[in-house]
Amino acid sequence: MAASSIRMVTLQVSHGVRAGDEINCTISELQPLRAEPEDIPLDIVFEDKHVLVVNKPAHMVVHPAPGNACGTLVNAILHHCSIPTVAFSERELLSEVEDASDSDDESSTLAAYQNSMQGGGSNSYASSVRPGIVHRLDKGTSGLLVVAKNEHSHAHLSKQFKLHTIQRVYISLTCGVPSLLLGRVEVPIGRDVKNRVRMAAIPGPTNTGQARYAASRYKVIEVLAGGSAALVEWRLETGRTHQIRAHAKHIGIPLLGDEVYGGTRGMILSLLQPRFPHSSQGKLSQLVSGLERPCLHALALGFEHPQTGKNTHFSCQPPEDFAEVLSQLRALGSDKVF
């Protein structure tokens, strides 16, 4: 090869790449991540030998991931259930982000972890990445989540999620009011091609591989602030990543505080400013600045108990931040619908 067609590659950051250059590099192996037990208080709604129902606070991540190796619900569960450190492959976790995260069915159980520690695992890592977690809530979402405490409970709950027999009720505060006060959104959800961090409602067939079937039912409970906002109840028929947030955006009512899906501070200000007298603009600014998460709360959860077979139902009221915003919006006008 002629000397003029090859350039020596340097290690300088400022080195510019040109057409025809050959670049050799070594990529380090992905290192295993570890989930350490942490003494994090849990708001336990119910617990027996088989299941644990917790009220997850907003801003808590459910399971460890790159950038969130500690302070997660899994870390708290490991401590609560007296389980030692869990090690897992980052490669396995990263491979789940695009696919498995779209499903309610999680592969992690306390029993699977214990089995792997006894030599029953298929590799050197514990097979339990998220001990007992059979469904998820977004970091910013507060509310009820059920955890399986043994293999039988996990299998039983996972089957209920697959059959869509789990009852899940969410409430949200939305920007504006939907044109239909009671409705069903049946639009597939997939990764947003313009922003891979978020999901998007993608109308059309689901056999293209770009999106998966998703359906949500909603009803407006209360019209707030003269129609500038609404208290909306959601019931999930499927459990796709960011399903409510993506469907709410699709029908034109992004959640208050959801900067990723359109419920930005700017939109909230534009909707509410006409409702606030000039002397109260300070209160409006305080309300908007206090929105640090999407206003979404998992209000109720119902399932068949994996051991007794009885239908069990749990509920928990929204936390203070949600309740405070709702109270301020009601002060600007409230019309009950359902």
Strands 51-56, 142-148: parallel, antiparallel or unpaired by DSSP? antiparallel
Question: pLDDT value at position 111?
Answer: 40
Neighbouring CB atoms inside 10 A of 15's CB total: 13
Q: Does the structure show a pLDDT above 80 at 15?
A: no
Question: pLDDT value at position 296?
Answer: 99
Report the predicted TM-score, pTM, of the whole model to 2 decimal places: 0.82
Q: Where are the domains of the chain?
A: 37-163, 165-338
pLDDT tens digits, one per residue of 108-119: 444 444 443 333
Alpha-carbon span 223 to 71, nearest angstrom: 37
Question: pLDDT value at position 85?
Answer: 78
Strand partners, 189: 201, 212
Alpha carbon 212 to its chain centroid, in Å, reads 16
Alpha carbon 195 to its chain centroid, in Å, reads 17
Active site residues: 138
Lowest mean pLDDT, pick from 78-92, 102-116, 154-168, 199-213: 102-116
Question: pLDDT value at position 50?
Answer: 95
Question: pLDDT value at position 106?
Answer: 38
Strand partners, 217: 184, 235
CATH 3.30.2350.10 fits 165-338, yes or no: yes
pLDDT tens digits, one per residue of 86-99: 766 554 444 333 33
Place of tokens 């409230």: 334
pLDDT tens digits, one per residue of 176-194: 999 999 999 999 999 998 9
Give domain 37-163's CATH number out of 3.40.50.150, 3.40.50.720, 3.30.565.10, 3.30.2350.10.
Answer: 3.30.2350.10
> Model confidence at 281, in pLDDT bands (50, 70, 90)?
confident
Q: How many helices (H) and strands (E) does the chain have?
A: 8, 14
Give yes or no on whether 37-163 and 165-338 have one common fold.
Answer: yes
Alpha carbon 198 to its chain centroid, in Å, reads 11
